[in-house]
Amino acid sequence: MNNKSKIRIRPVGKADLLEWLVMRRALWPDCPTKKHREEIAEILADRNDQPAWVAESPDGDLMGFLEASVRNYADGAGRQNVGYLEGWYVKPKYRKQGVGRVLVNEAEDWAVSRGFSHVGSDTWVGNMSSYRAHKAMGYREAGRDVHFVKKIKTKSKK
């Protein structure tokens, strides 16, 4: 699979639910299945502002997916509506063959069609393949977050 013209990008459909869930679980393994299902239902009910696409091979295999959204802020773009890459995943055997790029191009076309001037995205520190792929696609680093958490005493239930 190395011919980009053979990669078919289409909006995710109800027939893709199982495979989409499998790919989502590979991307976000810490997310409970129930939460995945809720988010999938939410996305399918809001295609305008939460579009999602799958990349399909000529023999009908799903190679990856991309979920986007409208956010009202992105680091580096300021407080304005932007397209945002929420979930970007290509199955390992299809990586480095242009599938991810075609998915992102689709999301960028959608953002242009919505009149947005920027597309934002993020990844976790240490995800170097994602970092390098973003850079290769023309995304510049716009900031880094540090997350904190503190375990607090819980009230004993009466």
Binding site for ligand COA (CB under 6 A): 27, 88-90, 95-101, 123, 127, 129-130, 132-133, 136-137
Element (H, E) at 56: strand 52-56
Sequence-distant (6+) residues with CB within 8 A of 137 are 100, 101, 104
For ligand COA, the closer CB: 143 or 153: 143
CB of 18 to ligand COA, least distance (A): 19
Helices 17-27 and 33-44, packing angle to 10 deg: 120
HSE (side-chain half, CA atoms, 13 Å) at 76:
14
For ligand COA, the closer CB: 101 or 114: 101
CB of 56 to ligand COA, least distance (A): 14
For ligand COA, the closer CB: 47 or 96: 96
Contact criterion met (CB below 8 Å) for 43 and 67: yes
For ligand COA, the closer CB: 2 or 113: 2
CB of 81 to ligand COA, least distance (A): 20
Looking at beta carbons, which residue is closest to ligand COA?
100
CB of 62 to ligand COA, least distance (A): 13
Contact criterion met (CB below 8 Å) for 21 and 40: yes
CB of 5 to ligand COA, least distance (A): 14
For ligand COA, the closer CB: 3 or 156: 3
Phi and psi at residue 115, to the nearest 5° = 85, 15
CA pair distance 24, 29, nearest whole angstrom: 8
